[in-house]
Amino acid sequence: MEINHHCSITVDRQVQRRFDAIGFSLKFNNPLYKDRSHFDIYESDPRWPSLNAILQECDGFQVAWTLFSHKDLLQAEAVEIDVAWKHPYPMPREGFKQAEYDLENYCSECGIGLSHEAPIRLRKEPNWGRRSIFRLFWMPDELFVKVDLWEPLIEEFQLETKPVHDKKGNTLAGVLQLRIDEIVDVDVTPNLRFARCMSCERLRYGMISRGPLPPPKTTPKSHIFKSEQYFGTGHLAYRHLMISNELYRAVKKAKLQRFKFSVCTLYPDGLGDPSNGYG
| 260-277 tens-digit pLDDT | 899 997 543 333 333 333
* Main-chain phi, psi angles of 16, to 5 degrees: -60, -40
Helix 147-156 and helix 245-253: axis angle, to 10°?
140
With 80 as the cut, is the pLDDT of residue 91 above it? Answer: no
Check: CB of residue 226 under 8 Å from CB of residue 240: yes
What is the rounded CA–CA span in Å between residue 180 and residue 244?
13
| 3-12 tens-digit pLDDT | 999 999 999 9
Check: CB of residue 256 under 8 Å from CB of residue 279: yes
| 152-209 tens-digit pLDDT | 999 999 999 999 998 888 999 999 999 999 999 999 877 788 999 999 999 999 988 8
What is the rounded CA–CA span in Å between residue 66 and residue 224?
22
For the chain, the first-to-last Cα distance in angstroms comes to 15
How far is residue 207 CA from its own chain's centroid? 10
Burial of residue 279 (number of CB atoms within 10 Å: 0-12, 13-18, 19+)? buried
pTM of the model: 0.83
Check: CB of residue 54 under 8 Å from CB of residue 60: yes
DSSP labels for 68-92?
--HHHHHT-SEEEEEES-EEPPPBP
